[in-house]
Amino acid sequence: AQSVTQLGSHVSVSEGALVLLRCNYSSSVPPYLFWYVQYPNQGLQLLLKYTSAATLVKGINGFEAEFKKSETSFHLTKPSAHMSDAAEYFCAVSGAYGNNRLAFGKGNQVVVIP
């Protein structure tokens, strides 16, 4: 079965500092990987996705992620954190079922410190 692991449920980052959220996947087939963001009392919004094209994927709001097959990783980064980045971030994987069933990680709650 596919799965993703996100370590560290809470991540604190200073405003202007690098945001790094780690995601490692487990999949028996070539994975499709997604990062979603959820602001308080809202639904999930796609930040970016990897579907076997370029390994460095650029998303919205200055985020990007790099697919590394050798490390089974898809870490999310943003060079400079902004207060508006405070939210819950979920990594997800699909690809083994043919029906777009997403397996989500447990999520990272990002807190931005002024």
98 binds other proteins (CB under 8 A): yes
Contact range with other proteins by CB under 8 A, out of 12-20, 64-72, 75-83, 88-96: 88-96
Nearer to other proteins, 25 or 34 (CB): 34
Nearer to other proteins, 72 or 104 (CB): 104
Nearer to other proteins, 17 or 96 (CB): 96
- CA nearest neighbour of 76 among 6, 28, 1: 6
40 binds other proteins (CB under 8 A): no
- CA nearest neighbour of 76 among 113, 33, 45, 111: 33
Q: CB-based contacts of 34: which residues, under 8 Å, 6+ apart?
A: 46, 48, 49, 50, 91, 92, 93, 94, 102
28 binds other proteins (CB under 8 A): no
5 binds other proteins (CB under 8 A): no
**Which structure tokens are listed for 84?**
């508006």
- CA nearest neighbour of 87 among 104, 103, 108, 62: 108
| Interface positions with other proteins (CB under 8 A) | 9, 32, 34, 36, 41-46, 49, 51, 90, 94-102, 104-107, 109
